[in-house]
Structures are given as C-alpha cells and as structure tokens.
C-alpha cells in the first residue's frame, strides 16, 4: 500500500470512499511529516493545523453520512502566500504585508473548498512572487526536497517543495514568467499554467495584469487535470476571465499520443539559450519515447527566447511598478534587497516601451497560433539547467533566466512542466508541453503518455 504521504488526490478520495482511510488519518499523517521535515524545508509561512483538523473531522462525518461535497472531499492543499484564504494572513512573504489578514477566500480557493478541499495553510513564495531565494525576509526561503542545499525554483517555491516532499498532495501556485513551472521543474512534479483567463485571479495579489495566471501543482498528471476541473470557470469580476464551456480535462488522459503532431521547439535549447548536456539529452530522449508511442515529431520555429524575454520583462516591470510604486516610495526598507532591485527598473520604463511590448506581444501570439495550425502540441525545454545551490546568489541569478517558460506567459497559451528524469547529481530534469488556447485536455493527454512511458509518477525525493 502506498505510504500515506505519497497518496495523490485521486488516491486519497478513493481510499476515503472505500473506508480504508479517513480524512483525519490522512491529515494527521501529513501533520506528522510536516513537523519532521518543515524545519528543514521551510515550506510553511502559516500552518493552520487546528482549523484543518476541524475541517477533516467534518469531512469524515459527511462521508459517514453519505454526503460528498465534491471530487476533492477531505483532501488537504497548500496555498501560495499571495493567494487569499479567509482568516489567514496574505503576506506575500514580505514584511510589507506582515499583518494583512484576508477577509475572504480568493475565487480559486473558494472553488477548491466547494469541491471539498481542506486548506492546510499558506506556503512560501519569493517576495511578492518576484524576488528570489532571499535571506533578509521575515521567513526563510523554501528548499528543495531532493537536496535541501538546492533551490526549489520559484516563485511558487513552497508549493513545489511541499508537493514534492509529501507534505500535501496538491497546491496552488501562480505563474507570471514561469513561477508554477519553475518549481515543478526543479522539484520533479507536474505544474500547469492554464490558458490566460481560464482560472480566476480575483483574490490573488497581482504582479503583472497581462501575464499573471493561477495554476495547480500536483505529483501526477491525473491529479492536475482533476484540480483544473474544479478551478476553471468564468468569473465576471476578473476582467481577464473568459467564458468557456465546461470541460472534463481528464477525458483524454489514457488515449495516448498516436496520431498527434508534436512540434519540438529545438532552437530554444540548442541555439537561443544552450541547455546543459543532461537537459538536452533528456529532451531528445523524451522526443524518441513520444515518437515510439506513436506521435509525429516535427521541428517548429518560434520567435527567439531573447525576444520573448524582452517583451515579458517590459510588461512585468511596468505593471509591477504600477502595483508597488506607492510602497516603494513610502517604505522601501520593508522590502528585501532582491525584490526591491527587481521591482525598481519599472520606474524607468517609458510609455512607449510598454506600448511597443504590447504590440509585439500580439504579433507573437499570432506566430504561435500559426505554429498550432501545423501541430497539436508544442514540446520544449522548461529549465536549461537542474536546480542550483540556494545559497549561491551568483549562480541563482545566472540560471534564473536560462529557461523557456516566459514565451507562454507572453502569449497566454497553456503550458505544463513536469519531471523528465534525474541528473547524475540526483536532481530532477524537466520538460515542457504547450497547447492551443483552452486545449488543456490534449495537453494532459500528451503529458500522461510521457508520464506513463517514463514511470515518473512513482519517483519521489529520498527525504524523510
């Protein structure tokens, strides 16, 4: 039998239904593991253990009475600490908001609750989702469960580390330049940035209105699809939200890739930002596996990573400055040094820079749409390197931009990063799939085919 802390969302709900495990028993196992590992991993900013146990007892009583609230009934979740959970602080991992208590759930949290999920607590992020692993903040940065001396990726660092370490089976993250997919890559889990506008951002502290997404982080593709089923839906109070028909995102999971055309964006990791040899070899291996599974692999060319990064940087810096300018003028000393340094360039962006970046963004969207006329899914690198040491700021700074995630924030297309194997150092390698707008079901289909063929879902960090 699977150890309780490695049970996924679907595993747990099946065990609850069969009465072989109760929500209280699962939660207690996770709390015991948190007590053991969190002093090393620094995942939690606020662990709401007592309230979570009350919710688990209520979920257990409902199961006994034959009442199931939804597909996540009784399952504990971690929530990135820029997302509001009613009654808990939303700090942004910053002393600027250290006393900021949310009065209502964010829409994404409310939807998970409606499906029966239990909010276990608020977890670490880079400061305001932009800083980096910083040691001058009120809480230490989260660490990588594969090796705690290494960076877990960010900015959804606590979400990625906690899921990978078995502290909770799923978590919410946010993604503005790759912040769901970076920790998914570094920690060897599944992280989805959905189509822009598919998941409401109301109740989430903004970084960039043009680029922000909320996404699920899980250990398996099936669990990720299950969470998206619960999260997706129109929110008329979020200006970016788009009305879409209800979709069963797991419907195609086991169909395999036979007959699908997969566009391999090789120039991202071969020319634009040359990947480490292990990452490059892992990508080529994955392409061969998918081809052996029946997919047609085609080489695809998109705009260069440097151009995508430039557009992303202008939009992000300009919009983040609009959010933070009053506080940075009034109390800059309350920010960590790294996030302050990353926010300040927005003060010097001209209106013309912003307009031109938005203009080029629309052209890039059209170019990616053109690619999808020839292929069903895009395949490319996520990170060009494995995780680096967390207390090596020069290497952190050097490797942070060595990635291929920002293109899909710029264009808004859905993108999923996941485990591709282990490096010689025992750290996760990663890969990335991107799909047509609102084509998450096909994206999950391809990701599941890789997961099944490679056996990645059963591989966990050797921690605890």
Q: What is the pLDDT of residue 439?
A: 97
Percent of the chain with pLDDT over 90: 98
Percent of the chain with pLDDT over 70: 100
Q: Which of 328, 323, 359 is nearest to 341 (CA)?
A: 328
- Taking residues 108-130, report their average pLDDT: 98
**Averaged confidence pLDDT in the chain:** 97
Cα(260)–Cα(376) distance, rounded to whole angstroms? 6
Give yes or no for a contact between 118 and 57, defined as CB atoms under 8 angstroms apart.
no
Residues 394-443: tens digit of each pLDDT: 999 999 899 999 999 999 999 999 999 999 999 999 999 999 999 999 99
CB atoms near residue 299 (< 10 Å): 10
Q: What is the pLDDT of residue 246?
A: 85
Cα(196)–Cα(340) distance, rounded to whole angstroms? 27
Residues 340-374: tens digit of each pLDDT: 999 999 999 999 999 999 999 999 999 999 999 99
- Taking residues 104-127, report their average pLDDT: 98
What domains lie within the chain, and their CATH numbers? 13-458 (3.90.1300.10)
- Taking residues 324-333, report their average pLDDT: 97
Q: Does residue 196 register a pLDDT over 60? A: yes
Q: Does residue 179 register a pLDDT over 90? A: yes
Q: Does residue 90 register a pLDDT over 90? A: yes
Angle at 416 between CA 411 and CA 417, to 5 degrees: 120
User: What is the side-by-side order of every strand in the sheet holding 377-380?
Assistant: 44-47, 118-123, 76-80, 170-175, 213-218, 190-193, 415-422, 428-435, 377-380, 261-264, 296-299
Residues 20-39: tens digit of each pLDDT: 999 999 999 999 999 999 99
Extended beta strands in 365-414, E state: 377-380
Cα(384)–Cα(394) distance, rounded to whole angstroms? 16
Strands 415-422 and 213-218: what pairing? unpaired
Cα(295)–Cα(375) distance, rounded to whole angstroms? 11
CB atoms near residue 308 (< 10 Å): 26
Collapsing DSSP to helix, strand or coil, 390 comes out as: coil
| 166: preceding bond cis by omega (within 30 degrees) | no
* Residues noted as catalytic: 80, 155, 179
Token code pair at residue 363 = 């052209």
Give yes or no for a contact between 113 and 65, defined as CB atoms under 8 angstroms apart.
no
Collapsing DSSP to helix, strand or coil, 38 comes out as: helix
Q: What is the pLDDT of residue 136?
A: 97
Q: Does residue 1 register a pLDDT over 80? A: no
Strands 261-264 and 296-299: what pairing? parallel
Q: Does residue 151 register a pLDDT over 60? A: yes
DSSP string over 72-110: TTT-EEEEETTB--TTSB--TTSGGGTT-B-SS--HHHH
Q: What is the pLDDT of residue 172?
A: 98
DSSP string over 407-452: HHHHH---EEEEEEEE-TTS-EEEEEEEESTT-HHHHHHHHHHHHH
- Taking residues 160-169, report their average pLDDT: 98
Provide the pLDDT confidence category of residue 464 given band limits of 50, 70 and 90. Answer: confident
Provide the pLDDT confidence category of residue 5 given band limits of 50, 70 and 90. Answer: very high
Q: Does residue 89 register a pLDDT over 60? A: yes
Provide the pLDDT confidence category of residue 95 given band limits of 50, 70 and 90. Answer: very high
Token code pair at residue 452 = 């099944």
Q: What is the pLDDT of residue 308?
A: 98
Q: Which of 298, 71, 283, 309 is nearest to 178 (CA)?
A: 309
Q: Does residue 244 register a pLDDT over 90? A: no
Provide the pLDDT confidence category of residue 245 given band limits of 50, 70 and 90. Answer: confident
Q: What is the pLDDT of residue 16?
A: 97
pTM of the model: 0.98
């Amino acid at each position: 039998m699977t150890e309780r802390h490695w049970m996924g969302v679907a595993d747990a709900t099946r065990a609850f239904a069969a009465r072989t495990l109760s929500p209280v028993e699962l939660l207690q196992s996770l709390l015991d593991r948190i007590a053991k590992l969190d002093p090393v991993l620094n995942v939690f900013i606020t662990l709401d253990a007592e309230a979570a146990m009350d919710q688990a007892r209520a979920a257990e009583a409902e199961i006994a009475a034959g009442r199931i609230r939804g597909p996540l009934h009784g399952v504990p979740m971690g929530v990135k600490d820029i997302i509001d959970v009613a009654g808990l602080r939303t700090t942004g991992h910053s002393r600027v908001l250290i006393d900021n208590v949310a009065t209502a759930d964010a829409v994404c949290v409310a939807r998970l609750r409606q499906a029966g999920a239990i909010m276990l607590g608020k977890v670490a992020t880079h400061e305001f989702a932009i800083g980096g692993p910083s040691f001058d903040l009120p809480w230490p940065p989260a660490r990588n469960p594969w090796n705690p001396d290494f960076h877990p990726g960010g900015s959804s660092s606590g979400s990625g580390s906690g899921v990978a370490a078995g502290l909770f089976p799923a978590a919410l993250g946010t993604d503005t330049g790759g912040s769901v997919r970076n920790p998914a890559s570094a920690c060897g889990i599944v992280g989805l940035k959905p189509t822009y506008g598919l998941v409401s951002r109301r109740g989430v502290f903004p970084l960039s209105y043009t680029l922000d997404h909320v996404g699920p982080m899980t250990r398996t593709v099936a669990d990720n699809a299950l969470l998206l089923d619960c999260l997706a839906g129109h929110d008329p109070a979020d200006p970016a939200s788009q009305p879409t028909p209800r979709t069963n995102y797991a419907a195609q999971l086991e169909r395999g890739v036979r007959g699908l055309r997969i566009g391999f964006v090789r120039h991202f990791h071969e020319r634009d930002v040359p990947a480490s040899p292990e990452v490059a070899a892992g990508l080529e291996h994955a392409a061969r596996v998918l081809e052996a599974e029946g997919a047609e692999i085609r080489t695809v060319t998109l705009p260069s990573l440097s151009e995508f990064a430039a557009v992303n940087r202008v939009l992000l810096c300009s919009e983040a400055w609009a959010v933070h300018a009053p506080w940075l003028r009034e109390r800059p000393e309350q920010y960590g040094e790294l996030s302050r340094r990353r926010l300040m360039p927005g003060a010097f962006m001209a209106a013309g820079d912003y307009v031109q970046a938005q203009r080029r963004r629309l052209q890039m969207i059209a170019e990616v749409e053109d690619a999808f006329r020839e292929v069903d899914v895009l395949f490319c690198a996520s990170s060009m390197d494995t995780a680096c040491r967390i207390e090596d700021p020069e290497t952190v700074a050097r490797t942070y931009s060595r990635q291929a995630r920002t293109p899909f924030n710029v264009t808004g297309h859905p993108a999923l990063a996941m485990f591709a194997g282990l490096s010689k150092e025992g750290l996760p390698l990663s890969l990335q799939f991107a799909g047509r707008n609102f084509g998450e079901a096909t994206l999950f289909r391809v990701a599941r085919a890789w997961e099944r063929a490679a056996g990645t879902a059963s591989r966990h960090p050797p921690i605890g």
